[in-house]
Amino acid sequence: DAKTTQPPSMDCAEGRAANLPCNHSTISGNEYVYWYRQIHSQGPQYIIHGLKNNETNEMASLIITEDRKSSTLILPHATLRDTAVYYCIVRSGSNDYKLSFGAGTTVTVRA
Amino acid sequence: DTGVSQDPRHKITKRGQNVTFRCDPISEHNRLYWYRQTLGQGPEFLTYFQNEAQLEKSRLLSDRFSAERPKGSFSTLEIQRTEQGDSAMYLCASSPRAERTYNEQFFGPGTRLTVL
């Protein structure tokens, strides 16, 4: 799986959008970008994934650059409950079962 | 609650003792995964089951570790002769059979092991 690079930490004001960057310059054509988050003392939670098109669900939006070498996770209206470690993961399709987590980005939402 | 459950949530043991953790996946999920997470790091893959078959074991899983999923439902992870370096959070996840080009993994709350 391609390696990802994320900033170690970032702060965000409550109610504002949080934009979390991820670099994956060695991504290959059949690899998807996944985002998970882990709130303190809980297991990781799936957020969203995409291949090349931008994706949106009830939790977040995922913007993938045209060359697919980077992506941005957008939390549109951050709340205090969004404080967590966010992991950007690249993996291939259905036959690739394991998730390779890096250190992630620690996001702190401040009131 | 129909999520992934793990038992116990916390375990404190002395070095050299054996410990066993249990994971109950979401009903009808045929894939089950074990991960280990140490402080400040992301989870690391340990092993993976599809139904009762253990299909991959990470090199992190030394001979002291064994995992089973005898009936393709719950799974156990046993650590023999525990060492202080085994202290970590042990996470279990499950996912349904992939019918599309992705599979979302659902994680349990983890078992925190402390080896004294």
Q: What is the mean pLDDT of residues A23-35?
A: 91
SS3 B22: strand
pLDDT of B90-104, one tens digit each?
Answer: 999 999 876 554 668
List chain B residues with CB under 8 Å of A42: 107, 109-110
Residue A87: burial class (beta carbons within 10 Å; 0-12, 13-18, 19+): buried
Q: Do B108 and A43 touch (CB under 8 A)?
A: yes
* Cross-chain Cβ contact A42/B109 below 8 Å: yes
Nearest to B48 among A45, A97, A104 (CB): A97
Q: Which two tokens stand for residue B11?
A: 């375990």
Q: What is the pLDDT of residue A40?
A: 92
| Bond into B8 cis (ω within 30) | yes
* Bridging pattern class, strands A105-110 and A84-91: antiparallel
Asked if A101 lies within 8 A of B43 by C-beta distance, the reply is yes
pLDDT of residue B100: 54
Q: Give the pLDDT confidence of A55-104 residue by residue, as tens digits.
A: 999 999 999 999 999 999 999 999 999 999 999 999 876 566 789 999 99
